[in-house]
Amino acid sequence: MTATRVGLTGGIGSGKSTVLQMLAELGAAVVDADAISREVTGIGGAALSALARHFGAGFITAEGQLDRSRMREHAYADPLARRRLEEIIHPLVGQESARQVRAALESGRHCIVFDIPLLVESGRWRQQVDRVLVVDCSPSTQVARVVARSGLQAHEVQAIMAAQSPRRLRLAAADIVICNEGLQLAQLRAEVALAARSFGL
């Protein structure tokens, strides 16, 4: 049994989650690496003992999960710590993703969508997918959407955007681009359905 593996990515506020939801409604199986990574570092998660061993019990909260903000600061300040963190977490995320892929194949899904916000930045995902689907819109639309949704200020959204891959690199990595600009949701759904057909959905 084979299925088309699609890596879905896009900048903050581009509409990734909206497109993902539409693909799921069309029958795609969804593998969300961020959610898996939160799971393995959450209460009872498979990464906790290795994290405590390597970084110290101070990085685990009283509730028994990774202290995310402390680890974020530590990993931000120390590239070696960041690499070690990735070495602990990535294989576990890989194992769980592989398990979910097997389950999707066994249940006869034709398309598996991997939600990978940092696909272009990370590189390691590229060879694991058959197609890269990029959701794109103008930077001003990204800012407007995120401000409306989150209450962040425009300059804070712009700072997040500046830390992400430049738009042109994301577009260069794309096999298919969904241009989510000036579209009503129904029009977006039609664009997604068109792309979905080429993924065997």
Q: Provide the β-strand partners of residue 120.
A: none
Q: How far is CA 200 from CA 23, 107, 162, 195, in A?
A: 11, 15, 35, 9
Least distance CB 7 / ligand ATP (angstroms): 14
Among 4, 5, 8, 15, binds ligand ATP (CB under 6 A): 15
Residues 73, 8: Cα–Cα separation, whole Å: 28
* Cα distance between residue 43 and residue 64, in whole Å: 5
Q: How far is the CB of 140 from ligand ATP (least distance, A)?
A: 13
Which of 3, 7, 8, 16 binds ligand ATP (CB under 6 A)? It is 16
> Contact with ligand ATP (CB under 6 A): which of 6, 188, 195, 196?
188
Residue 18 or 110: which CB sits closer to ligand ATP?
18
**DSSP string spanning 77-117?**
H-HHHHHHHHHHHHHHHHHHHHHHHHHHHHTT-SEEEEE-T
**Residues 135-174 as x/- pattern, contact with ligand ATP by CB under 6 A:** ----------xx--x-------------------------
Q: In the complex, which residues of this chain contact ligand ATP (CB under 6 A)?
A: 10, 12-18, 145-146, 149, 180, 183, 185, 188
